[in-house]
């Protein structure tokens, strides 16, 4: 587990464990995958200095400057440094999808994405789907279809559906199933999740696109 960033007097963050990252790109990550191919240069450069680095993350349209260690995951930075706790951490090893966010519009596991990998990219979290005080269409569809039980997987499921609908506004049921196949629900709310994705497609077309 990364060190507590509160012990760091600077404004910044924490991240993915190297163990988690290396063990990550695993089975099941059909849709949400890490940016591991982009990691090495930046991360190794910073790590070679033995120091932290200040990076800029573009989160929900706002540019945020954060101080990170190269091993800190994006999920840790979002939650513990930036206070965006809507992103959940489940397995922390790229298997469950609870930590899914959009990076440049595509679903990614933030637990196996280093914060330094995400520098300069457009990051969208569940908080970023809100339309003012109103739920975005995917959030609204999940609510109306009762697409959750405990709710722990829900943020990740919603982000996976959001990512799906951004690349395919009219997915059929097979495409929906594939689109959320990187997100596990231990409560087994899959039927309602699939129905919510269908409804979200309709809501977006009615003008509620986020």
Find tokens 């005080």 and name the residue. 133
* Total residues in contact with ligand FES, by rule CB under 6 A: 23
Taking CB under 6 A as the binding criterion, the range among 6-14, 34-42, 61-69, 93-101 that sits at the site for ligand FES is 93-101
Among 108, 148, 196, 201, binds ligand FES (CB under 6 A): 148
98 lines the binding site for ligand FES (CB under 6 A): yes
| Chain centre to alpha carbon of residue 191 | 22
Q: Restricting to residues 169-208, name those near ligand FES by CB under 6 A.
A: 185-187, 189
Ramachandran bin of 173, using left for φ above 0, alpha for ψ from -120 to 50, beta for the remaining angles: alpha
Q: Which two tokens stand for residue 40?
A: 């090495």
Between 86 and 97, name the residue whose CB sits nearer to ligand FES.
97
Collapsing DSSP states into helix, strand and coil, what is residue 16? coil
102 lines the binding site for ligand FES (CB under 6 A): no
Q: Are 12 and 69 in contact (CB under 8 A)?
A: no
Residue 99 CA to residue 24 CA, distance in Å, equals 13
Q: What residues does 106 pair with on adjacent strands?
A: 103
Site string for ligand FES, 108-127 (x = CB under 6 A): -x-x----------------
163 lines the binding site for ligand FES (CB under 6 A): no
Q: Restricting to residues 47-86, name those near ligand FES by CB under 6 A.
A: none
Among 23, 85, 149, 175, binds ligand FES (CB under 6 A): 149
Strands lying side by side in the sheet with 106-109: 62-68, 53-59, 122-124, 100-103, 106-109
Between 17 and 140, name the residue whose CB sits nearer to ligand FES.
17
Q: What residues does 193 pair with on adjacent strands?
A: none
Q: Which two tokens stand for residue 192?
A: 């309602």
Taking CB under 6 A as the binding criterion, the range among 79-87, 92-100, 168-176, 196-204 that sits at the site for ligand FES is 92-100
Between 149 and 178, name the residue whose CB sits nearer to ligand FES.
149
Taking CB under 6 A as the binding criterion, the range among 33-41, 78-86, 96-104, 195-203 that sits at the site for ligand FES is 96-104
User: Which of 134, 20, 160, 14 lies closest to 76, judged by CA?
Assistant: 14
DSSP run (H or E) holding 149: none
15 lines the binding site for ligand FES (CB under 6 A): no
Contact set with ligand FES (CB under 6 A) = 89-92, 94-99, 109, 111, 148-154, 185-187, 189
């Amino acid at each position: 587990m990364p060190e507590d960033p509160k012990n760091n007097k600077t404004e910044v963050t924490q991240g993915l464990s190297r163990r988690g990252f290396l063990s990550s790109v695993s089975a099941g990550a059909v849709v949400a995958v890490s940016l591991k191919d982009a990691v090495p240069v930046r991360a190794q450069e910073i790590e070679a200095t033995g120091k932290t680095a200040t990076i800029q993350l573009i989160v929900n349209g706002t540019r945020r400057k954060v101080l990170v260690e190269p091993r800190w995951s994006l999920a840790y930075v979002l939650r513990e440094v930036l206070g965006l706790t809507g992103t959940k951490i489940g397995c922390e090893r790229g298997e469950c999808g609870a930590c899914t966010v959009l990076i440049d519009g595509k679903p990614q596991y933030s637990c196996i994405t280093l914060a330094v990998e995400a520098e300069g990219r457009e990051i969208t979290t569940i908080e970023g789907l809100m339309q003012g005080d109103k739920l975005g269409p995917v959030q609204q569809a999940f609510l109306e279809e009762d697409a959750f039980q405990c709710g722990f997987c829900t943020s990740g499921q919603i982000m996976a559906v959001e990512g799906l609908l951004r690349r395919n506004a009219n997915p059929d049921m097979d495409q929906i199933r594939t689109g959320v196949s990187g997100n596990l629900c231990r409560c087994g709310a899959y039927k309602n999740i699939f129905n919510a994705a269908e409804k979200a497609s309709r809501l977006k077309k009615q003008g509620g696109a986020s």
